[in-house]
Structure 1
Amino acid sequence: MSDVFIQATETDPAVRAAAEVRSVHRRLLDRLTALVEQEPGQHHTVLAGFLGGELRRHLAAADKALHAPASGAPETRLLVRALRTTAAEIEALVRAFPSAADPVRAARDLAAVLAVHFTVEETVLLPALAAMPGADVGLLAGDLRTLLDGGRLERPEEIDVREIPRGQRHPRIFARYARLAPGESFTLVNNHDPRHLRREFELAHPSAFTWDCVESGPELWRVRIGRPAG
């Protein structure tokens, strides 16, 4: 398959990924709207099941796949904080729903907050991620799909980029970094000094990553890349 595409068109992987995320958002909002319009007697049971199940799974998956990769960059750190604050408010509304005196109104209020949350992800977060050095929105959208399908994200202890096509190396490394919890790290293996990659990390995650050279050539480089514990 060719990696050639026209930027900002339907052939652009970032555009396709954004469309995929929007499709997931529309499906969730349409499902919520349809449940609200059901017979009144079904509201509490069916809506509570949807909100506590599918919707909460989506919020958790979006945080891991979309929010975490942008959480360390100075340009998007405050945006992620705002999105996580909104997600926490949605979670609070979900927890309060079973005891709501008016489940229809409670669900509509939740849907309104959710629609704003999704709009910010689509129109602000995704373009910001696409502009980040080394980021690959297509990979991140794939991570979201994997999590929503019940899968787990790969968390290899070592990434040997000698076995990865050149254009896919840095996005794969940044995606692995995004999956690190504070204090965790992984080892990068390369056949040359990854100084250009370090510059990209300094641009995208200043003061938010660790870089420890374990082996420095001349034929093999090993670098331990981590997320600070503090």
Structure 2
Amino acid sequence: MSDVFIQATETDPAVRATAEVRGVHRRLLDRLTALAEHEPGQDHTVLAGFLDGELRRHLAAVDEALYAPASGAPETRLLVRALRATAAEIEALAGAVASAADPARAARDLAAVLAVHVTVEETVLLPALAALPGADLGLLAEDLGTLLDGGRLERPDEIDVREIPRGQRHPRIFARYARLAPGESFTLVNNHDPKHLRREFELAHPAAFTWDYVESGPELWRVRIGRPAA
């Protein structure tokens, strides 16, 4: 039995996931803002450590958990490219804070840029991700939490969907695809021909995936799904 929820309310997994990501953003911005309140001439060691550690880890986690799943879809490819360009600029600004004439002011300027950046993630990227075929915003938010807690996302060479509850199968497969580097692949195992899944891939990632039958029934299907090397 699938979960029952009312769309666009707090019972909607996408709404809950968006709230979780927004909470992560607010905590990051609040921490940066607090550290930037030091007076000129004070020790900014803690601020420098935050920028080089927590902020960089946050940017890397968001890229892996949220940008990667959207990077290959036609609807979100350019958005992700723009967000990655802004994230790179944020890293550059963070690296320059320690050597700035007024580190506190530089940190406040950085916080203003970061606030705009995360607002775009919340108001543009997350709704776009929720609309992508096969994507599960709740699962992606969980992945983000795992990375921020210091964990690593699984990258199995084989996914046997017969062991995964219905409703969670396609999102897990798409999430695994998002973690593939060019030229990499994984094997999908199922008890029927996953034709519907292939149609979802064609919608979400046209001409950006490979699909090779390793075994074609009658009781077991094995499909090698990959990201083209070029």
User: What's 2:80 paired with?
Assistant: 80
What is the deviation of 1:181?
Answer: 1.2
Contact 2:38–2:104 (Cα < 8 Å) also in 1: no
Q: Secondary structure at the match of 1:99?
A: coil
What is the deviation of 1:44?
Answer: 2.3
What is the deviation of 1:40?
Answer: 3.8
CA distance in 2, matches of 1:181, 1:42: 44
Identity %: 89
User: CA offsets per residue over residues 98-134 of structure 1, 9 Å max, x none?
Assistant: 2111112211111111011100100000000000011
User: What's 1:47 paired with?
Assistant: 47
What is the deviation of 1:42?
Answer: 4.1
Hey, which bits of structure 1, 4+ residues long, moved more than 4 A?
none
CA distance in 2, matches of 1:39, 1:10: 41
Letter in 1 for 2:189: V
User: What's 1:172 paired with?
Assistant: 172
Q: TM-score if structure 1 supplies the norm length?
A: 0.97
Asked if 1:123 is matched to 2:123, the reply is yes
CA distance in 2, matches of 1:89, 1:43: 25
Structure 1: 5+ residue runs without aligned partners? none
Say what the alpha-carbon RMSD is for the aligned residues.
1.2
What is the deviation of 1:5?
Answer: 0.7
Asked if 1:226 is matched to 2:226, the reply is yes
CA distance in 2, matches of 1:120, 1:211: 33
Contact 1:132–1:204 (Cα < 8 Å) also in 2: yes
User: What's 1:135 paired with?
Assistant: 135
Q: Secondary structure at the match of 1:180?
A: coil
CA distance in 2, matches of 1:107, 1:23: 21
Given the superposition, is the C-alpha separation of residues 160 and 93 from structure 1 closer, same or farther in structure 2, using an over 3 Å criterion? same
Letter in 1 for 2:119: T
What is the deviation of 1:96?
Answer: 1.4
What is the deviation of 1:9?
Answer: 0.6
Q: Secondary structure at the match of 1:38?
A: coil
Q: TM-score if structure 2 supplies the norm length?
A: 0.97
